[in-house]
Amino acid sequence: MLTSQRFRATVLSLVLLFIFLGIWEGLNIVPTDVAPKSEYELLMGGASQEARVPPPSSVIKLAYKELSNPFYDVGPNDKGIGIQLGYSLYRVLTGFFFAALVALPIGFLVGMSPLMHKALDPFIQVLRPISPLAWMPLALFIIQDSEASAIFVIFICSIWPMLINTAFGVANVRQDWVNVARTHELGSFKTALQVILPAAAPTILTGMRISIGIAWLVIVAAEMLVGGTGIGYYVWNEWNNLDLTSVIFSILMIGIVGMLLDLALGRVSRLVEYEE
């Protein structure tokens, strides 16, 4: 029954996909000029009405071409999609890593000490709602390096969900388990490592999952600003080239990579989950 439902769901997904692609393809008629072409238009190759959203067939054709050779590099404005995504992933993972390095210990501190919670809460509440891109000018000025500034923006936007979830998870560890640690005379370091960390791990991982999702959202915008490399820059560059097929293709790739990132962290969080 379960497998058959799964099978039916897959069939339904495919049907919906084909209906969507069919409508998109069907609506894409190459416009024919009503009036005869002017001399100017003839001179320009008659391309006046060619600008249109490309049909899925040409997106698929491009995707096939790009994905069969994803790592080519022929100069700053023509790199394979794999290279562009690689740059973006590198920035996201670096920023995320440093954010985890800062957010997890501070989250632990805030979660374990009510004093620190009260003292740090105002800062967290003010800094958290700031759009990460608002930091960009300041980062560019202080760091004076566009690459590092992009990573910094990822860093700053990844911190908050991780910090808040860690603090919440740590503060809400069941008192019974803490009592078990106390009656077994565990020191505070051992208690943190052997009881509080495993107890709060699922909540912490949820925070990390939210963080990496946001980081992947933000990297596209950040790379549009700093330029040079990355999938965000690629989208913007293809827009400037008026190559909408590539724009649609890269939008699709952003979605797929984002999904893979989430799946990966979902796998990790399943490792630390426990049932009460």
Give residues in contact with another protein (CB under 8 A): 176-177, 179-180, 182-186, 194-195, 198-199, 201, 272, 274-276
The whole-angstrom separation of Cα 253 and Cα 59 is 12
Tell the residue number behind the tokens 């069939």, with chain if given.
Answer: 11
Report, in Å, the least distance between residue 199 CB and another protein: 7
Closer to another protein at the Cβ: 81 or 197? 197
Nearer to another protein, 63 or 181 (CB): 181
Q: Please report how close the Cβ of residue 189 comes to another protein at its closest, in angstroms.
A: 13
Contact 96, 215 (CB under 8 A): yes
**Amino acid in position 249:** F
State which residue, 82 or 202, has the beta carbon closest to another protein.
202
State which residue, 6 or 182, has the beta carbon closest to another protein. 182
Distance between alpha carbon 179 and the CA centroid of its chain, in Å?
A: 40
Half-sphere exposure of 98 (CA within 13 A, CB side): 14
| Contact of 214 with 162, CB cutoff 8 Å | no
Asked whether 213 and 157 are in contact (CB, 8 A), the reply is no
- Least Cβ distance, residue 185 to another protein (angstroms): 5
CB of 170 to another protein, least distance (A): 15
Instruction: Name the minimum Å distance from CB 103 to another protein.
Output: 22
- C-alpha 27 chain-centroid distance: 31
Instruction: Report the distance separating Cα 94 and Cα 221, nearest Å.
Output: 17
